[in-house]
Amino acid sequence: MNRLSTTKTVFLVFLIIGTIYILGKQKPYITNSGKIFGTYYNITYSSDTDLHNEIKSTLMQVDKSLSPFNKQSIITAINNNADATPDSMFIHVFTLAQEISAKTAGAFDITVAPLVNAWGFGFKKGITPDSTTIDSLRQFIGYNTVSLTNGKITKKHPQTMLDCSAIAKGYGCDAVAATLEAHGVQNYMVEIGGEVVTKGKNNKGGMWTIGISKPTDNPTASNNELQEIIAISGKSMATSGNYRNFREVNGQKVAHTIDPRTGYPVQHSLLSATVIADDCATADAWATSFMVMGLEKAMEICKSEESIDAYFIYSDGDGAFKIAETPGMKKYYLKK
């Protein structure tokens, strides 16, 4: 063996040893799953320590702050007009919600709870409301009828109730991500009920991939067919749609998305809205807002909101699926 061959062999040996050493130093990937907010969470992260207890603790804090189904939560106390001091989680979500409400002229509104309940989609089940009931409830609806004053929520009408369901799952993802980072985790994907936060790389060293489902009205989500696969890192993604969450009233499908400005379920061609943003609470709120607005207004808003990208699936006049998207969405498509 000549000197050149010997050098190459030695280099190759050291390369193999170095690679084994580096791989040996990589932290394993752990997946934690469970149920929260009436849905399921799946969290994958790289860590030497299983942080499931810390994750569950964070999720319970969010639940205790924002869940109207939790009788001991802060939002329940506020809805019941009890003396309640909002915590930092509630204040963060309330402030963000009010900002997006202002930007959407009330299409996003966390005071919509009485209407959502009346239509049978909220934390109280009602019968299908008539126009008189809708009109009577609308006087208590409006994001500008509630405010945060001196650390307390002030309501113009005692009957006004808050519902953060359109933003709480996204915020829950953000809160878990913050917990992971506080423990030094730099590679993770947090998913709660379809809302997602990502950072770093997956266990194969690549981007995190998330599917956008085709909007078929299959409540069990079996044989879930994907419309597109998104690859992201350092970004959050949320999807809102009416195609699975609906009721039938007099033989007609009634969408779960209620327009706070009219009091009635939305009726337009938009089937689902997927939003990519820097944080998941923002993505969650915008996705809901777009489902209220409909496609044309949503695309118009996207032109001024440069920090988000969006992907819309809508139905044309013949019932076929069509796609509309912001220019920035294409960079997130999984390279096939």
Identity at 294, one-letter amino acid code: G
The pTM (predicted TM-score) of the whole model is 0.86
Q: Which one of 3.30.160.100, 1.10.240.10, 3.40.50.10490, 3.10.520.10 gives the CATH number of domain 207-336? A: 3.10.520.10
Is the dihedral angle over the CA atoms 33, 190, 112, 92 positive or is it negative? Answer: positive
What pLDDT score was predicted for residue 298? Answer: 97
Most confident by average pLDDT, 133-137, 205-209, 215-219: 205-209
Q: Per 3-state DSSP, what percentage of the chain is helix, strand, and coil (rounded to 5)?
A: 35, 25, 40
Is pLDDT above 70 for 49?
Answer: yes
Q: Where on the phi/psi map is residue 146: left (φ > 0), alpha (ψ -120 to 50), or beta?
A: beta
> What token pair was written down for 144?
């500008």
pLDDT of residue 23 exceeding 70: no
Domain coordinates in residue numbering, the chain: 207-336
Mean pLDDT of the chain: 87
Alpha carbon distance 182, 175 (integer Å): 11
Phi/psi of residue 157, nearest 5 degrees: -120, 130
Per residue in 222-241, pLDDT (tens digit) is: 456 889 999 999 999 999 98
pLDDT at residue 122 in the model: 60
Please check the confidence at residue 245 and state whether its pLDDT lies above 50. Answer: no
Write down the pLDDT at residue 243: 57
Higher pLDDT, 336 or 327: 327
Taking Cα atoms as reference points, which of 162, 183, 34, 188 lies closest to residue 110? 162
User: d(Cα 47, Cα 62) in Å, to the nearest integer?
Assistant: 23
The predicted structure's pLDDT at residue 120: 75
Q: Which two tokens stand for residue 31?
A: 């997946």
The rounded distance, in Å, linking the Cα atoms of 106 and 144 is 9
pLDDT digits (tens, 9 = 90+) for 166-175: 999 999 999 9
Are 151 and 106 contacting, i.e. CB atoms less than 8 angstroms apart? no
- pLDDT tens profile 77-136: 999 999 999 999 999 999 999 999 999 999 999 999 888 888 776 655 556 778 888 888
pLDDT of 214 strictly over 70 = yes
pLDDT at 130: 82
Angle between helices 165-182 and 52-66 (to 10 degrees): 150
